[in-house]
Every structure is written in C-alpha cells, then in structure tokens.
Amino acid sequence: MKAKWELTGFEDYFSALQEAGKNINTVSREGLAEVGQMLQSAMVSRCPSDKLKPYIKIFTPSVEGDYNYVAVGYVRDPAYTPKEIAIIANSVEFGSVHNAPMPHIRPAVRALRSAVNSRIAAKLKAAGYVD
C-alpha cells in the first residue's frame, strides 16, 4: 500500500514568515518608543534634583540584529550625559558618603514594569503577532 501527500503553499508561507520578521521589528520599535516616553516621564517626576531632570533622556529605540531595545535614564554616552552629571546622578540614585540614596530611576522601572510589558504585548497583539 502506498500513500502520497502533496504539500503546496510553502513558498507563500515562507514569504509571509519573512515579511512578518521585518514587520515585527517595526511594531516592537514603535512600542519601545511609547514605553520609553512612559519611563522617562516617571523618572523625571520622581527625580529629586531639577539639575538632573534634563539629563533623563531616551536613547532612541535601537536594533542589534533581531534585538530591539530602548535605553531610558542617564544614557552612558557623553552626547547625552556629561561625565560630571553622570557622577552626580549616580550619587543621588545610590547615595554616597555625603548623602543618602534618593532613588528615582529604579522605582520608576519597578512601578511601570507591568504597564510596559502590557503595552508591548498590546502592540504585538494588535498587529496580529501574538494571541
């Protein structure tokens, strides 16, 4: 007894899969831009120093291969945060021998973790990439 199956449509399937790979990066970067603004706002509102607030910035959603990310806070780049501001921000966030810690970056991230995850998931769901 012989059985024969003919499978068709793989070319279309692989094309759609390849296209989805391109589009999902666009959708995730859009979501990252939104959550970057949410995080920045929360960090600035918690910041105890008016001098530091202008340096809490968003490093544009970026890509390394299929890894999408956004950096928010005192970005480790002299174009974003001068060295002397980074030192002050570190001593404010974590404390020093001269002052007690006044964290504002980590509490903002903790407070928004669930909202950030939900926003990204909603973007991906709306685009049809997750159920």
Q: Rounded to two decimals, what is the model's pTM? A: 0.79
Using the structure block, give the residue that is written with the tokens 């970005």: 75
The band of 22, judged by pLDDT with boundaries at 50, 70 and 90, is: low
Measure Cα distances from 86 to 15, 83, 89, 91, 124 in Å. 47, 5, 5, 9, 35
CA distance 71 to 14: 33
- pLDDT tens, residue by residue, 75-124: 888 888 999 999 999 999 999 999 999 999 999 999 999 999 999 999 98
Q: Does residue 118 lie within any of the structural domains? A: yes
Percent of the chain with pLDDT over 70: 95
Distance of CA 131 to the CA centre of its chain: 21
Q: Does residue 4 lie within any of the structural domains? A: no
115 is in which domain, residue-wise? 35-126
CA distance 114 to 71: 17
- In the chain, the number of structural domains is 1
Cβ-contact 43, 116 below 8 angstroms: no
Q: Does residue 21 lie within any of the structural domains? A: no
Which amino acid is it at 65? G
Q: Does residue 45 lie within any of the structural domains? A: yes
CA distance 57 to 53: 9
